[in-house]
Amino acid sequence: MLRAVVFIVLFAFGGVFIAFHVASAGTTGSLGGRILETKTRAPVVGAVVSVTSPSQTANTTTDSSGHFTFISLAPDTYQLGVTKQGFEQLQVPGITIQADQQRSLDFSLDRSLRQIARVAARSALDVVRPGTTTDVYSVNSAVTSAAAPIGGGGSLNNAYSAIAAVPGAFVPPGQMGVNQSVYIRGGYYDQIGYEYDGVPVNRSFDNYPGHSAATLGQQELQIYTGGGGAGASASGLAGFINQVVKSGSSPGFADFSARLGSPTFYHDFSAEAGGATTNRRFTYYVGASSYNQQFRYLDNFNGAGQIANFPNPVGPSNHTTNLDFYPAVYPTCNADLTSPFDASGVTPPPFANDPGCFASFNPVYSYVDAVDGREVVGNFHLAIPHHNDSGSDDIQLLYTNSAQYRQYYSGVNDAGFSLVQNAVGYGEWPDYVTYPTGTQFLAPATVQPIAYPFPGSPGGRCYNTGDYTDIYTAGSCQTGYSALPPDYRDARWDSASIVKLQYQKNIGSNAYVRLFGYTFYSNTNRSGASRRGIGSGFGATNYDYEVDSHTRGLELQFADQLSDHHQLTGSADYVTATTLRDNNFNYRNTKRFSVSNLTNGTQCFAAADGTGDDGVDAYTAGQPAPCNDSITQGSFYDPTQSETQGCGAGTTIPTPACAAGAAWRLTYTGNQAGINRVRPKFGAISLSDEWRPNDKLDIKLGLRGERDEFDLGNTNTPGKNFWYAAAQNEYCYNPVTLQPVFVPQAPQNASVQTPYVTFNCPLDNSTGTPVQTFHPDGKDGHLLLSNVYNPKLVQSYFLPQAGLTYNVDPNTVLRASAGRYAQQPRAYEIQYDSQEENLANQLIGFLPYGFTTPRHDALPEYSNNFDVSIEHQFPGTDLSFKATPYYRYATNQLYNATVYGQSPSFNSGIERTAGVEFELLKGDFKKNGLSALFSYTYTSSKERWLNYAGTNQNPVDPYNQYIQQYNALTKAGGGSPCYMNSADGKPDPACMAMSIRNPYYASTPQPLLDKNAYYETGLDFPYLSPNVFTTVLNYRSGKFAITPELSLNQGTTYGNPADVGGLDPRTCSQNQGTSGFTTGNPLNADYTSCAFAATPSGSLYVPNPETGHFDGFGEFRQPWQLNMGLQLAYDITPKVTANVTVANLVNRCFGGSSTPWSAAYPPSSSICGYGANIFYVNNFYNGASAHD
């Protein structure tokens, strides 16, 4: 039986775009070198050296050693000229200057009795770059345009397809929109620094790039695969990406572009203009673009005819079964075993040909439906002439604003109207209730709730709080409901705005001082009514999630060519941000949600005689009881448990509670959200010296120092302190594993955990060895769950860097670099806070990770990066290559854990990555003939995990606990051959007729994992492709050009020990014999009678039935993926060009691990990956087989 099902799909976009083009930096690079006499190699003194490009012109004179320097040049391709009386003139076109990079080029002049001009050509794509000591790849506008279809057409308007074209970077295909995942040299996608014209755009909350990465206005795209320089404004652990904005040019230009797409909708219009005054003292560039793009997957009908390839035994079926049992995690069928999703109403055909009772619906449900983008850019420079020399200073004003809106296939119509009707009945706006603004903690529980309509939903409608009529009537639907439109779709909005003001003081041609300040605002807003308005299993994004970040920074840079041997550069910068992350959880505000307690403000009391939520402890009315137990709580519907509000005449509150001063008081004030208000304050200084001891060798040494301060939000409030005091005496944890004790949950509800609440902590028997659990009260050596901590975290560090180039000959350069790089902790790692008062409830899950307060002392991540390169141009050709072996050793790597109530990351990993980058370049994509870009990257990366600080646990330990829990059911582990049908774990060694057979008893215990071993990088979420190929070809002949592109990447690994779940015979109440099944072993459990597993999580993981053992981390390999696109261009006139772009001309997956599931569903143009089906069908059936 199939174990894993396919659900990684790529869109078969097959789009054709026709474009018409009508023609009418705050970061700079430097160029230096020497002019020598050809025969004697003597310096040529007083030669006039000039550089010219549309962006800038400059000239200087060689000194007594023949040395010249242009300390600050705008990124562009320049023509260099050298003149000197008595020598031939020299003209060298094609010298490309990159931002923040030094180029060192020496030239020779021949003596002559008459002037004869000599031209030495260089390709604009030439990779041979003497003096460039860092490993950087530069992409100009022509290559950016040529690479646009790479990845499947989702990056036609941004830089990600161009990033995918260079070595070292792996951009998984099939992405679209902002914040696409980029992996460089084994680093995770959030370990890359991003700059936009020198402005760092990584937001401090999560280090995501907050900009759109649009190609509008992009002069140059730089990808540093070894890390940025010491003076980089943005921190990048595994790479650094910089976009340099166009400046005004002379002569000026005006470009207009319009594109239409089919068969899916695509419209794009952009306009750009740039120019300068005749004296070039004022230059300007402005641009604007607008595009709307829709997407189709699998085929032009979103795979409507391929549903049989995507059986989905989880999805909504785990909550919508019509069978009369719980937990409902298995095939969804009617009582007569017909499928509610089969219009014919008959028993479905065999599973191999039809999903049958499985809840299959649109396989692209929750995928991106459309992306709409808007961009504006303005870059202005004003030159201030010097009075005492021919130079000038520069003032820059940069402004950019972007907005991107995306929708998802997530509504009623997208899932299938009939499916939704059968599964959940209808869709409605997810409205809830809350308390009025200003409601105080411990206010009397008589405060009247009000409606909380879904944020952003239409006005003028009634609210779906009709079932709350006992507590709220104004505005609620008196009859019927306020329907969610069938064509509604969840959405996400991303916006960004940058304003930068810069002044550069040029000191001759050898030095400058640059000061700039900036503001950077970014916002992400995810809005999803489907998940709560339609039903669980539906929807594509969060209910209401927002991140607002307002970053402000100031930076001082300087550079000075001290002599022809030394160039000194330095920087000092300061950046801070005001951030609010608000993950709205008000969808939990149902009428049964707990809002009040019978309390005196320090202690809670039982409202009546009864048993606590643990099902064990008995409480007496009016006596102390846990505040976190429902026996002391009221709800929106009944905040006083139908008792009087307070004590006095006629009171119904039990006397002991009244004597202690108790009353029904609000301990929840109406709103709940995960919030983060951490304010970062980062400071950095750097100093670098580029030393050129001779004409062949360049050595660059740099040192960067950083100071990171995080000012935490205030959690010291009466409400939060109240709940912390309660948690210290009511929650429990295992002192061996440090795991909190949770109420067991059904397997399909494993993510909905509830802490076990009691005054008397129980024994934990889940691993076969009983362990006494304790309260986190700080007594007798226990952990202390506390709200007391220092609200300021400060850490400092220094980062040395070194690089060199050696010119073997004019066509060959050897390059090497080494450096230590760091990345500040993300703000979300530093503190966890909530809008509601019971923060302690959300943070109990952090105990195994060494954190007992809202403050988490996350550490910087470090990486020691090493690489060497050979850069060579074949003499007499325009063909060049660059080969770069590299090695990274990274520490304090983050592990993304699943913690009750949170999605945190913890420092734990040590990563070792080695590989090779190779780039082959030919020609110029702007000129006639054949030009080409070929990139290849090989990556080998492994990671091992240290214990979390202050604990004996690391990320591998939970998986060992899963294996131990399984082993405890085997004979060798102390299991019983059968268990009583009382579902309480009592053994029945005699296996009587009514008992439940233990299917694992005779199995061999599984070995534990080596917690100190190296595993696939990412552990349970591997993300790297070991082999990535990209090719972009261009052939131009006069007016016509054809540009095919190809990308090929090997699949990532997958698999982990928690891939397969099984039923727990200790929690079943009936066997199949007593249920009337006549096939199979009658003692086998009737799986519909089984409850939660008797483990802390409520789930039991078992070996993979296909292999007989627990899956290893990354045991299997996903298929290779091949994608091809094509562009055609024709110059209708010298000023009008027509382009045709075809994305996904070919999309094919093949290879990968040979497995039973890949044999059943082989890789193809639509099947490109496999995922785990935890609820493995063969583990959950009645009868002799899953077909019974």
CA-based nearest residue to 1141, from 524, 264, 255:
264
Burial annotation 384-418 (CB, 10 A radius, 16+ → b, else e): eeeeeeebebbebebebbbbbbbbbbbbbebbbee
CA–chain centroid gap for 521, Å, is 19
Angstrom distance (rounded) from CA 281 to CA 275: 11
Q: Which of 748-752, 777-781, 836-840 has the lowest mean pLDDT?
A: 748-752
Strand 90-97 and strand 118-119: pairing?
parallel
Average pLDDT, whole number, for the chain? 86
Domain ranges within the chain, ordered by starting residue:
29-119, 427-452+594-667
CA-based nearest residue to 1123, from 1025, 1023, 1024, 1028:
1028
For 746-766, what is each residue's pLDDT tens digit? 444 444 568 999 999 999 887
Other C-beta atoms closer than 10 Å to the C-beta of 336 total: 9
Q: Which of 451-455, 767-771, 915-919 has the lowest mean pLDDT?
A: 767-771
DSSP per residue over 601-651, as a string? Answer: SS-BB-SSSEE-TTSS-EE-TTSB--TTSGGGEEESS-TTTTS-SSSSTT-
Work out the average pLDDT over 1006-1025.
Answer: 96
Angstrom distance (rounded) from CA 877 to CA 1147: 34
Pull the structure tokens for residue 87. Answer: 């020598």
Identify residue 481 by its one-letter amino acid code: Y
Angstrom distance (rounded) from CA 185 to CA 539: 34
What angle is formed at CA 934 by the lines to CA 928 and CA 936, rounded to 5 degrees? Answer: 175
Q: Which of 313-322, 368-377, 560-569 has the lowest mean pLDDT?
A: 313-322
For 214-229, what is each residue's pLDDT tens digit? 999 999 999 999 888 8
For 492-510, what is each residue's pLDDT tens digit? 999 999 999 999 998 887 8
Higher pLDDT: 325 or 753? It is 753
Return phi, psi of residue 1043, to 5°: -135, 90
pLDDT at 1: 30
Angstrom distance (rounded) from CA 535 to CA 41: 80
Pull the structure tokens for residue 818. Answer: 């080494």
pLDDT at 576: 97
Contact 783, 950 (CB under 8 A): no
* pTM exceeding 0.85: yes
Cα–Cα distances (Å) from 482 to 208, 416, 569, 1070, in that order, read 37, 20, 64, 43
Number of alpha carbons in the 13 Å side-chain half-sphere of residue 1144: 27
CA-based nearest residue to 1040, from 935, 928, 934, 1155:
928
pLDDT at 443: 96
Angstrom distance (rounded) from CA 304 to CA 88: 72
Residue 422 has pLDDT above 80, yes or no: no
Contact 867, 885 (CB under 8 A): yes
CA–chain centroid gap for 760, Å, is 42
Partners of 1126 in the beta sheet?
A: 1044, 1142
Architecture label for domain 29-119 = Sandwich (2.60)
Residue 7 has pLDDT above 90, yes or no: no
Angstrom distance (rounded) from CA 123 to CA 141: 15
pLDDT at 1120: 98
Cβ-based burial of 798 (10 A; exposed 0-12, middle 13-18, buried ≥19)? exposed
Highest mean pLDDT among 90-104, 294-308, 500-514, 1161-1175: 500-514
Other C-beta atoms closer than 10 Å to the C-beta of 984 total: 11
For 1073-1108, what is each residue's pLDDT tens digit? 998 888 889 999 987 788 778 887 778 999 998 889
Partners of 823 in the beta sheet?
A: 861
Identify residue 918 by its one-letter amino acid code: F
Q: How confident is the model at residue 473 (pLDDT cuts 50, 70, 90)?
A: low
DSSP per residue over 433-469, as a string? Answer: EE--TTPPTT-BTTPPPEEEPPTT--SSS-BS-GGGT
Helix (H) or strand (E) holding 597: strand 594-599
Between the two ends of the chain, the Cα-to-Cα distance in Å is 14
Q: Greatest CA separation found in the chain?
A: 120
Contact 383, 392 (CB under 8 A): yes
Could you check whether the bond before residue 263 is cis, i.e. omega within 30 degrees of 0?
A: yes
Residue 874 has pLDDT above 80, yes or no: yes
CA-based nearest residue to 109, from 79, 66, 78:
66
Residue with tokens 């999605």: 903
Return phi, psi of residue 334, to 5°: -75, 175
Pull the structure tokens for residue 654. Answer: 């039990």
Report the share of the chain in percent with pLDDT over 90.
Answer: 62
Residues in the chain: 1188
Angstrom distance (rounded) from CA 945 to CA 933: 38
